[in-house]
Amino acid sequence: MNPSGRLSAFIGMMMMVMVMRVASHDYGDALSKSILFFEGQRSGKLSPTQRITWRKDSALSDGFQIGVDLVGGYYDAGDNVKFNFPMAFSTTMLSWSVIEFGKFMGPDQQHALEAIQWATDYFLKATSIPGFVFAQVGDPYADHNCWERPEDMDTPRTPYAVSKQFPGSEVSGEIAAALAAASIAFRPKNLAYSARLLKRARMIFDFADTYRGSYNVSLGQWVCPFYCDFSGYEDELVWAAAWLYRATKSPNYWNYVVDNVKHLRKVLVRNIDGVIYSGGSFAEFGWDTKHAGINILVSKMLLRSNTSNLDLFIPNADKFVCSVLPESPTLSVSYSPGGLLFKPGGSNLQHATALSFLLLAYSRYLNQANREIHCGNVVANSARLVELARSQVDYILGSNPLNMSYMVGYGQKYPQRIHHRASSLPSVDQRLGRVDCQGGSTYFRSDKPNPNLLIGAVVGGPDLKDSYADSRADFVNSEPTTYINAPLVGLLAYFSSHPSS
């Protein structure tokens, strides 16, 4: 066989291997589990339909010391604090998942809506007092010094709020975005609830915009370093306005987006674990930074029409794609030898899921507009974006050098010792007596697998060399978060209906 023939045969063989690996993943099963995870993160009085039964009621008096009902919502990760900023972003992304990909979810769509409502019911409580928005419940320092079940918590459940005098436009803006996005998700199913969410979203956006300021200043000693806002609050205001425009079609919100997007920071500088990192804001998206998400979200509306505002958004959406496309000359992320996308900071799979969600959403908009992206001399069509997004999902599900799924309960091999208090301690069913603050330390230090499977939880993931220690102490890699899972829900919904496209 001549060299070109051997090359063709090799390429053909590799394509067959790729197809076999793709076909081996049960995206529908992973979808169901990715949504189920949120039931394991619930705070408050659990529903009679609760499916993760080893979790029980917890934090039933939140807010009562100041006469406000703040029961409900989600614990953000493996601790027992309710951080409303990342909780709101997770809710926005769950809602976007339903809006964009809900038709592919089948019966899981109802579970996804229930996951959204668990958060939005709480946010309605957290925004029920005019002039105040609750940003957090629980003393994070006391909580992080303990290793105890949420059902046993004896650390202070202090509520923290932003107000007219002590503003927090980023947390208020993200809650407004979450409520607006959720109103769209619920509109076909529950019009009255949708209207209620939208009315509150408008009110909270006006509050966030009128009383501008960062909660880093007003609540910094309690929200930092856990969920400091490094990117400024302006992006959350534009993000919220974009969602409100999509929910209402009111030109006032569209004008706000156009007038204010020009003022967003072009370069973001962060101190991540002592390392100074800077990059183009067009490439950033996550619980802290909404720039790329704004451009992708708005692009759907712009690509359908001829408008002079294209130049404000579409070029930056394209630049975002070029920043993550491996073959692009302007690549600004790293990839592990096994193909996993990496950005600076902890819980790396949050980047892989959030950026892949944007790639998949944008691929659909590009396909509808019959557009391609040019990254220098590299041309990327919508199919290439889908392929890259799928590669990240497949890596998470087990197509990686360790042949390991990073979703608990999916596949034959997955993390056993996740950094998660409730999962790592015996459930109330197994041990009735209270486990106090330090009483759980022996379970934290144990080499034994966690006694309770937090099915669907996706951990922070492997390191840049595709290695994973499976250690509770290695929280950067072994801790699951709601904002890792939320974008993954939409990705899995799409791939469950498009297993090989």
Which among 121, 387, 466, 470 is annotated as catalytic? 470
Torsion angles phi and psi, residue 413, rounded to 5: -135, 120
Distance CA 463, CA 476 (A): 10
21: buried, middle or exposed (CB in 10 Å: 19+, 13-18, 0-12)?
Answer: middle
Catalytic residue among 79, 235, 288, 318: 79
Query: Exactly one of 76, 108, 235, 479 is catalytic; which is it?
Result: 479
Return the structure tokens found at 479.
């801790």
* 133 closest CA partner among 186, 178, 80: 178
| Single-letter amino acid code for the residue at 389 | A
Before 107, cis peptide (omega within 30)? no
Alpha-carbon separation of residue 125 from 39, 121, 425, 478 (angstroms) = 19, 7, 30, 32
**Which SS3 state, helix, strand or coil, does residue 485 take?**
helix
Long-range contacts of the stretch 374-379 (C-beta < 8 A, 24+): 374/318, 375/318, 375/321, 375/322, 375/325, 375/327, 375/328, 375/329, 375/330, 376/322, 376/328, 376/329, 376/330, 377/329, 378/322, 378/325, 378/327, 378/328, 378/329
Which distant-in-sequence residues (6+ apart) come within 8 Å of 185 by Cβ? 95, 98, 99, 102, 113, 116
Mark whether 29 is an active-site residue. Answer: no
Question: Does residue 79 have an active-site annotation?
Answer: yes
Helix 482-497 and helix 84-101, axial crossing angle in degrees, nearest 10: 10
Quick check: is 479 catalytic? yes
To the query of whether residue 429 is one of the catalytic residues in this protein, the response is: no
CA–CA distance, 37 with 59 (Å, rounded to integer): 19
Cα–Cα distance measured from residue 151 to residue 27, given in angstroms and rounded to the nearest whole number: 33
Catalytic residues: 79, 419, 470, 479
